[in-house]
Amino acid sequence: MCRLFAVTSREPLSPMTAVHALNVMKEGHDGSGMGLFLTDLGGSFERFRGSPILSGIFSNEGLRALDRYLMDLDFTVKYKLSIRPAQIPPAGTPKRDNYVVRAYDYPPDWLALPQEEREHRLMLTRLRLRQMGEADGSMLIFSFWPDVIMIKEVGDPMELAGYLGLDHEELQARVILAQGRQNTNYAINIYACHPFFIQGYATMTNGENTAFVPIREFLTSRNYAGYTGYQSDSEVFTHILHYTQKGLGLGLDLYKHIITPLKDGELGHHPNGTKLKQIKQACRPLIIDGPNCVIGCLPDKTIFMVHDSKKLRPGIAGGSPGMFALSSEVCGLDAAIPARNKSTDIQPMKYDTVMIPPGRDEVIRWNQWER
């Protein structure tokens, strides 16, 4: 089973905070992989907040191809983080040539573009690079977006953190999403590793998504270039979130109503029942059905947690003003924020969405009956 941990803090944190939390939840995951999503960055990257940051793994040849491609597009490297792994990788971790985290300057002709168009081009560039590397595995691209760093690798999270030197002082973020374990239902594939990312939206999931195939078919038939991949059945959660917000212009409350709508009978007495029923019908193929706990981050740096409609996967939210965390297990939360008032911890139930807005003042909980 996967274990998830997300933390949001006014002060930048090292990703080691999240890695430690994953480590104490180790009994619940098999240590076969780790994915990290860092945003609202601190450290050196804070200075380049508007610049797109490319995160990925490259062979030497892949790195050359990357440089050629981005230079042709007129991107210029502004800053790069040097990740120098130890000589011998941990058991099960492949030896890679380059872990890349680089901030770029936009091509000059992009600067005049509307933000929407620029963001679309960034996504297309990421997808193109991914495609270029897919044939020979020379490039693995996780994100190409301002103020976002992603690191993914196969292996035990704690060992990986040591191997990759994730305690690097440059690597700091105010929002961190971390997931332990690869998706073991399918062949090990780094693209199946959570969190998944698209245009500022990131989510990670604990559990299976039994409605995966119809959801994937629906998303891919939206004719939107970004809805691709799906090496893991959990990637659709990220894309549904993106579709809900960017495609339909709906809020996070509707995300919960779309993936786990109330039953028809329940909608009959919901104050907003008519509209919700229509949305349920129109978005019927996006209804999830698995045992799932979804933790995600919105472009405005709000982090949130929702469950499947039967709450078949655990999750807890807690912390104190300035620093909150969402965790699969309470021990992960304890490890990250031991000095908190535990009586205010929230274990969201099947109708709940919990979120921590970027102010980090409180955990906000609402349930589907309220909105």
Partner 1 sequence: MESMGTLTPSTLSRTDLPWQLAWSREKCTLCGQCTAVCPVRAIELGVHRKRVVQVGLGLAEKPGNVFSVYHGIRQKTEPAFACIGCGMCDLVCPNGAIRPVRGGEPDKLRFHNNAGGVPRRRGGRRNDPRSLLDEIKFIRISMLTDPALDAGRHDFELRTLLGRILPPEALVRAVQDNGWIPPVREIYPLIIGSMSFGALSPNMWEGLQMGVAYLNEEMGMPVRICTGEGGCPPRLLRSRFLKYVILQIASGYFGWDEIIHALPEMKEDPCAIEIKYGQGAKPGDGGLLMWYKVNRLIAAIRGVPPGVSLPSPPTHQTKYSIEESVAKMTQSMAMAWGFRVPVYPKISATSTTLAVLNNLTRNPYASGLAMDGEDGGTGAAYNVSMNTMGHPIASNIRDAYLNLVKVGKQNEIPLFAGGGIGKNGNLAANAAALIMLGASGVQIGKYIMQAAAGCLGSETDRCNICNIGLCPKGITSQDPRLYRRLDPEQVAQRVVDTYLSFDTELKKIVAPLGRSTSLPIGMSDALGIADATAAERLRISHVL
368 exposure class (CB count in 10 Å sphere: 0-12, 13-18, 19+):
buried
**Contact yes or no for 328/3 (Cβ under 8 A):** yes
Q: How far is the CB of 206 from partner 1 (least distance, A)?
A: 10
Burial (0-12, 13-18, 19+ Cβ within 10 Å), 57: buried
In degrees, rounded to 5, the angle at the alpha carbon of residue 26 between the alpha carbons of residues 25 and 29 is 100
Q: Which two tokens stand for residue 105?
A: 């300057």
187 lies in the site for partner 1, by CB under 8 A: no
Task: Rule CB under 8 A: say whether 18 interacts with partner 1.
Answer: no
Please report whether residue 284 would count as binding partner 1 according to CB under 8 A. yes
Is residue 208 close enough to count as binding partner 1 by CB under 8 A? yes
- Residue 254 neighbours by CB distance under 10 Å: 19
How far is 185 from 207, CA to CA, in rounded Å? 11
The answer to the question of residue 213 lying near partner 1 (CB under 8 A) is: yes
The region of 57-65, 167-175, 286-294, 363-371 touching partner 1 under the rule CB under 8 A is 286-294
Residue 214 in contact with partner 1, rule: CB under 8 A: yes
- Whether residue 195 is preceded by a cis peptide bond, meaning omega within 30 degrees of 0, is yes
CB neighbours of residue 24 within 10 Å: 19
Overall residue count recorded for the chain in this entry? 371
> With respect to partner 1, which residue has the nearer C-beta, 165 or 285?
285
The window from 43-51, 86-94, 145-153, 208-216 that contacts partner 1 (CB under 8 A) reads 208-216
The Cα 20–Cα 102 span in angstroms is 25
Give dist(CA 329, CA 317) in Å, integer. 9
**Window contacting partner 1 (CB under 8 A); options: 6-14, 147-155, 205-213, 297-305:** 205-213
- If one asks whether residue 275 binds partner 1 (CB under 8 A), the answer comes out as yes
Nearer to partner 1, 281 or 344 (CB): 281
Site string for partner 1, 297-336 (x = CB under 8 A): -----------xxx-x------------------------
Residue 285 binding partner 1, by CB under 8 A:
yes
User: Toward partner 1, which CB reaches closer, 63 or 312?
Assistant: 312
- The label of the residue with tokens 């933000």 reads 115
| One residue of 47, 68, 222, 342 binding partner 1 per CB under 8 A | 222
Maximum Cα interatomic distance, the chain, rounded to a whole number of Å: 63
- Beta carbon of residue 284, minimum distance to partner 1 (angstroms, whole number): 5
Please state, as a whole number, how many other Cβ atoms lie within 10 Å of the Cβ of residue 121: 16
Nearer to partner 1, 98 or 228 (CB): 228
Q: What residues line the site for partner 1 (CB under 8 A)?
A: 1, 185, 207-208, 210-214, 217-218, 221-223, 243, 247-250, 260-261, 263-265, 275, 278-279, 281-285, 287-291, 308-310, 312
